[in-house]
Structure 1
Amino acid sequence: MAYPSFYDPATRRALADRLAGLTADRPAQWGSMNAPKMVLHLLESLKMATGELRPRTRNLPLTFLTRPLFIHHLGWPKGAPTAPELLAGVPTSFAADVEALRQRILTLPEPGAHDSVPPHPAFGPMTKHDWAVLIFRHIDHHLTQFGC
């Protein structure tokens, strides 16, 4: 299955629009995160995608083989552990945090043709296309987790 690129403007708008259905008390369909923690988690993960946040590297075997499988082909695991750095966001108010996420989704800079992109802490070196698919799938996964 080919997944949309996060950097496509229509894809960004569709993801941002899905946030409208999210409330602080909306229950998760799986996992242990609540909606406010999920919003902060997504904000931190977008910082990781731009290199603003650099989580500790996880030395996983054969990342060059597993990266394309996990990013582009396999189903997204429900309830999988995440890097502690991606759970360290400091809440303001739920409405402000959701708006910050919405703005970040709409305005996250797309890397240029000659820009380098940061490595992923589990998958290692990534291409711009890898990040575009991973960002989309990650946000989609968590919005689906909360029925949005």
Structure 2
Amino acid sequence: MKQLNPLDMKNLFTPATTAELTRRIDALRPDTKQLWGKMNAAQMLAHCNVIYEMAFEDKHPKPNAFKRFILKMLLKNSVVNETPYKRNGMTAPQLKISNDKDFGAEKDRLIQYIRQTEAFGAAHFEGLESHSFGPLTSQEWNNMFYKHLDHHLSQFGV
């Protein structure tokens, strides 16, 4: 997959990107079929919410120092760079969603997280500690959030 120019990466800290993502999420229905992968639409929304839970809430245990070092060395760059995710990639265990989820509740939560990200703005995220990778720049946070959302919304054709 080709690497995007950082100038082409959508900016999650702007109203235009929030509106675009909200429109795409609103186009989803509980019965929207995935183009690849195993999750249904409600599970995908819940999966996307976990990334925000790790950023905004103290809900998930942090990896120990050794595991964080390994994650930082092996995965950080591929998660925070501008290269889109490949289809059917590996998913971290804490991000796997296999049980039933409430589509409406997960959809509302995700839209709230996206709006909260915009409201906080880039300055809030500059140097903010990531759950798994240590401090990230606001551009790295933006890349991680946006390309993850774009990947999964594309997975469902929206």
Unpaired runs of 5+ residues, structure 1, are none
**1:119 counterpart = 2:130:** yes
**Residue number in structure 2 paired with 1:93:** 102
For residues 65-84 of structure 1, what are the structure 2 equivalents within 5 Å?
Answer: 67-68=76-77, 70-84=79-93
Q: 2:115 aligns with which of 98, 106, 120?
A: 106
**Residue number in structure 1 paired with 2:146:** 136
Quickly say closer, same or farther: Cα 1:77–1:49, change in 2 above 3 A. Answer: farther
TM-score normalised by the chain length of structure 2? 0.74
Assess if the C-alpha contact under 8 Å between 2:42 and 2:101 holds in 1.
no
**1:26 counterpart = 2:32:** yes
**Residue number in structure 1 paired with 2:155:** 145
Unpaired runs of 5+ residues, structure 2, are none
Task: Provide Cα deviations, 1:37-64, integer angstroms capped at 9, x if missing partner.
Answer: 0011111111112353445534575846
RMSD value, Cα:
2.9
Quickly say closer, same or farther: Cα 1:28–1:60, change in 2 above 3 A. Answer: farther
Corresponding letter in the other structure for 2:139? H
Corresponding letter in the other structure for 2:95? L
Segment drifting more, 68-77 vs 84-93: 84-93
Q: SS of the residue aligned with 2:129?
A: coil
Identity %: 30
CA distance in structure 2 between the partners assigned to 1:114 and 1:36 by the alignment: 29
Hey, which of these two has a bigger chunk of helix by percent?
2
CA distance in structure 2 between the partners assigned to 1:72 and 1:23 by the alignment: 30
